Amino acid sequence: MAKKLKSFGLIGASRVGVSLAWNLKKNNFDPAYLWNRSEEGLEKAGQYVNFDKFTTEYENLPDVDLIIISVTDDAIESMAEKLARSRSDLSETLAFHNSGFHSSSILKRLASRGAKTGSLHPVVSIPDIEKGIELIPETVFTCEGKAGRELKDIADTIARKGIIINQEQKKYIHLSAVFVNNYYTALIAAIKKLMGSKGLAREDCSEIFRKLSQQAAATWDKPISQSLTGPLARGDIKTAKGHIKLLDNYPNLQELYRRFGSVTSDLYPKINDEILELFK
């Protein structure tokens, strides 16, 4: 599929959708049309990708090989319904959405019209279109649904790679991504606030902790037994108690410290019993 010129229509001028469209066009896919609810969104997207047609109407859209639904999660199913009602036969069409959580089953109405359906999700945070265009070539995409193989071919062409997954795996990958990205982001913000309350400048905080963040990311390739350090790994109960005491005025962080200690103890059985008592 990726070696042959393929036409596509994009439903929704989202950051992910437009970034994906830009990279598809770069790899010789043909941007046939863009639908968006507002003219403003169409105008902005047109600054990046020159679709043959820009429209706010979903009736009478031209036939394409690929329909990409890139709207908000709560609008995917209703948009699939509208598209299905406007088409009598989609047997030559591959339709997919970009949601990280929802599976291809949400496109069942398009499947009933003969479309081969799936979900293609970039496992990366895309804050804006420019960054998305830059990130997609280095990103792993998850590919799910009956169109999984075809979607993997697309991902392998425009991105780092595509990985075929099932519906259950998809939900847990999205959940894990929230932990890895969003909650880690919140943790960093909480640490900056804590350090700021003790008079440490934000720039200095970044200098001190950036390398530690990079080291933590490198542990994806190692078991916890080879990467865990700190008071838990050393059995240093005095330091652990001291940390908990320091957080007396920060109850949320104190509870988080205890919870992380509990999670760590489940994964690292060498932690001694005396320290474990601190996390119960």
In the numeric block, which tokens belong to residue 96?
Answer: 């997919």
**Which pLDDT band holds residue 2 (cuts at 50, 70, 90)?**
very low
Amino acid sitting at position 71: V
Strands 66-69 and 94-97: parallel
In the numeric block, which tokens belong to residue 160?
Answer: 């780092």
**Which pLDDT band holds residue 5 (cuts at 50, 70, 90)?**
low
265 vs 275: CA distance, rounded Å: 9
Question: pLDDT (tens digit, 9 = 90+) per residue, 17-71?
Answer: 999 999 999 999 999 999 999 999 999 999 999 999 999 998 889 999 999 999 9
**Other CB atoms closer than 10 Å to residue 175's CB: what's the count?**
12
Model confidence, pTM: 0.89
Q: Report, as an integer, the average pLDDT of 3-15.
A: 87
Question: pLDDT (tens digit, 9 = 90+) per residue, 65-104?
Answer: 999 999 999 999 999 999 999 888 999 999 999 999 999 9
Please give the CATH number for the structural domain made up of 7-165: 3.40.50.720
110 vs 241: CA distance, rounded Å: 58
11 vs 81: CA distance, rounded Å: 13
Q: Which residues of 260-269 are buried (b: 16+ CB within 10 A; e: fewer)?
A: ebeebbeeee
